[in-house]
Amino acid sequence: MNSWLTVLLPKDEYKQQRLYQFLAESAVLAVFYFAVMIAASLIWTLDTSLTLLGGLGIVLFYALARYVLSGMEYTEVFTKSDYKKQLKKIIVQTVGFGVLYFVVYSLLSGLPANGTEWLEIGGFFSILLLMYFGIHFMSLRRSYSKNRQALD
């Protein structure tokens, strides 16, 4: 299928089709969400920015969750050694992401001036890195489990 989205998607045709499906499902959910928000706005006063961000969040988080839980990211992980190798790779990527993000953040915002700012930034980065690692780890676990089931 030719689309401008193809540039942003994996080269694997199966993954592309599944991602198109996930995006279409999330778009339908967002349409329902916006219909409910329009009806709710007739009764209550709603903040437009938050309402629009909610719709965007539905599209992004639903598509991400479906992709992660589908188990199609790590198609080459069949054995325990492949799993451990990929897990080490994810840990290295997470640390690299954290270092890169901290450097860019520091260049744009400057280093924190006091302990409270360090604590705030440390908490933010901890949550960010946990989410990054968690998403990749869940995807790896699901892929490994799905690949093992396919072998049996």
CA distance 74 to 141: 9
Residues 111 and 65 in one domain: no
The pLDDT, as a whole number, for residue 5 is 79
Please indicate, yes or no, whether residues 55 and 100 belong to a single structural domain of this protein: no
Decide if 75 is inside a domain: no
The total number of structural domains that make up the chain? 2
Is 87 found in the same domain as 56?
A: no
Instruction: Give me the phi and psi of 104, to 5 degrees please.
Output: -65, -45
Asked if 131 and 84 sit in the same domain, the reply is yes
What pLDDT sits at residue 1? 61
Q: How confident is the model at residue 112 (pLDDT cuts 50, 70, 90)?
A: confident
pTM above 0.85, yes or no: no
For residue 47, tell me if it sits in a domain.
yes
Domain extent at residue 133: 80-151
Q: 54 and 112: one domain?
A: no
Q: What percent of the chain has pLDDT over 90?
A: 69
Q: Are residues 88 and 50 in the same domain?
A: no
The radius of gyration computed from the CA coordinates of the chain, to the nearest angstrom, equals 20
Average pLDDT over the chain, rounded to whole?
92
Average pLDDT value for residue range 12-20: 89
